Amino acid sequence: MSTINFEEIFETKLAKNEMIEPKDWMPDNYRKHLIRQISQHAHSEIVGMLPEGNWITRAPSLRSKIVLLAKVQDEGGHGLYLYTAAESLGISRDEMLDALHTSKAKYSSIFNYPTLTWADVAAIGWLVDGAAIMNQVMLQRTSYGPYSRAMIRICKEESFHQRQGYEAMTRLAFGTPAQKSMAQDALNRFWFPTLMMFGPPDKESPNSDNAVKWRIKRETNDELRQRFVNQTVPQIEYLGLNLPDANIKWNEAKNGYDFSEPNWVEFKNVINGNGPCNKERLNARVNAHKNGEWVRAAAAAYAKKLDDQTLAA
């Protein structure tokens, strides 16, 4: 059988909306694209534990502490589902972690912004998870089976995250004047970084074309961004907060809001390591990995002893 036949089978499956599975033939670029995208996604979940995790010990009520702890834990779980999905494509978790730790792999730029106040944690739940969910709902129908199944599980589990963030934001926005101004400040600082999460504009997005063709992605960056703005503006209005962008205005013709472009120069810098917390985030991950080395070595040595005993018995 020639390669061309395999490619035809692959294309036919895509055309029929069928899933591609780990053992199926797939073009090298499809595999590469998936490994890059899924591992980035996994890294984003793991690094994403840090900005919110920063407030677990300082959560202002027992309830909010429990909820935040559960939420950050979920993110770790989601990272794990995604790492294993990527591993089904023939890359090891070690290789992926190494790429993260040596800055070869990217992760979502949003997590390089600091959580300065408790309201930032609420803003992340509401805005960042809101934006992430939009992307993830789309990815449930992605063409690669293990990725799709991971996303289905993740979406099910994430459904409480955004509500949790908005609830926390509501308490602040309707709380004391100090709480309200904390909420406004968080919204102002997280608005544009959240819009950047959908990636560069379609006309400048190098990976978007293929991703849509292969049905890895099903909507473009700009489409998702517009939908997010349309959904979020009324939520801001309900909170009684000021809009974070003076150019947000309803546009009847496009049945959506106009809004300012994020600062794409800033985006590129944050992606390339110059964001406010890139170094801190990476150090935290590298340190956890290094400090865990003896723990993993102990577990491996103990497992070997158990195996040897079984063999000897």
Partner 1 sequence: MNHHFKYLLRLADNSLINAQCLCKWTGHGPFLEEDLALTNIALDILGRSKLLLEHAALIEGNGKSDDDLAFHRSEREFLNTKLVEQPTPDYAYTIIKQVIIDSFDLNLYKELSKSKDDVLAGIAAKSIKEITYHYRHTSSWVNRFGLGTEESNQRAQNALNELWRFTGELCETDETDEWAIKNGIGCSVENFKASWQTQLKNLFNESNLTIPENTFMQTGGKNGIHTEHLGYILAEMQTLPKAHVGATW
Partner 2 sequence: MSDSQGPMWEVFVQKKAGQPFVHCGNLHAFDKEMALQNARDLYTRRMEGVALWVVKSEHIVASSPEDQGSFFEPANDKIFRHPTFYQVPDIIKHM
Footprint on this chain of partner 2 (rule: CB under 8 A) = 21, 23-25, 73, 77, 80-81, 84, 87, 92-95, 97, 149-150, 153, 157, 293, 296, 299-300, 302-303, 306
- For the window 100-129, what string marks contact with partner 1 as x by the rule CB under 8 A? ------------------x-----------
CB of 149 to partner 1, least distance (A): 19
Q: What is the DSSP string of 245-289?
A: -TT-EEETTTTEEE-PPP-HHHHHHIIIIISTTHHHHHHHHHHHH
Of 242 and 288, CB closest to partner 1: 288
Query: Is 22 a residue that touches partner 1 (CB under 8 A)?
Result: no
Indicate which single residue of 46, 150, 173, 233 sits in contact with partner 1 (rule: CB under 8 A). Answer: 46
Nearest residue (CB) to partner 1, 77 versus 234: 77
Q: Which stretch binds partner 1 (CB under 8 A): 10-18, 65-73, 199-207, 236-244?
A: 65-73
Give the integer Cα–Cα distance in Å for 190 and 141.
Answer: 28
Nearest residue (CB) to partner 2, 255 versus 309:
309
What residues numbered 140-179 form the site for partner 1, per CB under 8 A? 168, 171-172, 175-176, 178-179
- Tell me: does residue 80 bind partner 1 (CB under 8 A): yes
Work out whether 302 is an interface residue with partner 1 (CB under 8 A). Answer: yes
- In this chain, which of 30, 83, 198, 259 binds partner 1, going by CB under 8 A? 83
Q: How far is the CB of 238 from partner 1 (least distance, A)?
A: 19
**Which residue shows structure tokens 């089976």?**
145
In sequence order, which residues have a C-beta less than 8 Å from that of residue 266 and are 6 or more positions away?
192, 196
Q: Which is nearer to partner 2, 77 or 276 (CB)?
A: 77
- Cβ atoms of 147 and 54 closer than 8 Å: no
Tell me phi and psi for residue 59, to 5 degrees. Answer: -55, 140
Decide if residue 50 touches partner 1 (CB under 8 A).
yes
21 binds, among partner 2, partner 1, none (CB under 5 to 8 A by kind): partner 2
State yes or no: residue 2 binds partner 1 (CB under 8 A).
no
Selected binder of partner 1 within 2, 63, 252, 310 (CB under 8 A): 63
The binding site for partner 1 (CB under 8 A) comprises 46, 49-50, 53, 56-66, 69-70, 72-73, 76-77, 79-80, 83, 118, 168, 171-172, 175-176, 178-179, 284, 287-288, 291-302, 305
